[in-house]
Amino acid sequence: MAMADNPSLTDRQMQLLRMLYKISNSTDVFTVKKTQGELAKELNLTRQALNIHLRRMREENLIRTGRGFIDLTERALHVLGVGTTEAFIFLKIQPSQREYVYENVKKLPSSKIFRVTGEIDIVAVVPQARLDEFLEAVSGIDGVISTSSHVVISIIK
């Protein structure tokens, strides 16, 4: 059954939804969208063996699973030594290469990419865990004049 873009909610449900949003914490989610069959094949395991490992990781609160996805929890990221902090990368682009750069930057591992006015042309929001990968890839794109990276150390509001 398809979900409507604007579900029909009561006033109380809207009040609850607004309250939940207001008190919620913003988090980055690292999701794997592969079937267990695909993962088992890549790891050279049977599906049954993979299920045993996934069950143990669920019990340890390292992953959440559902139909067609596996989410890594913040605990898993901590165990891996990977932070969920975001980094902002500012890119200055050669004007004649804008469209080419836009198309290629969209393919890179990022949460959001903004085209902006001013001294820089693009602001990319990248999970700190993917910062090196992003910077290495963007350095190979013709038309990128310069980059400047800024890692969030704390959220003020």
Expressed as residue numbers, the domain containing 41 is: 30-80
In a domain, 69, yes or no: yes
**Residues 24-38: b if buried by 16+ CB within 10 A, e if exposed:** eeeebebeeeeebee
In a domain, 19, yes or no: no
Please check whether residues 91 and 112 belong to one and the same domain.
Answer: yes
The tally of domains found in the chain comes to: 2
Tell me what the mean pLDDT of segment 47-53 comes to.
93
pLDDT over 70 at 2, yes or no: no
Percent of residues, the chain, with pLDDT higher than 70: 89
Instruction: Tell me the residue length of the chain.
Output: 157
69-73, 88-92, 114-118, 122-126: which has the minimum mean pLDDT?
Answer: 69-73
Identity of residue 111: S
In a domain, 4, yes or no: no
Q: What is the pLDDT of residue 43?
A: 92
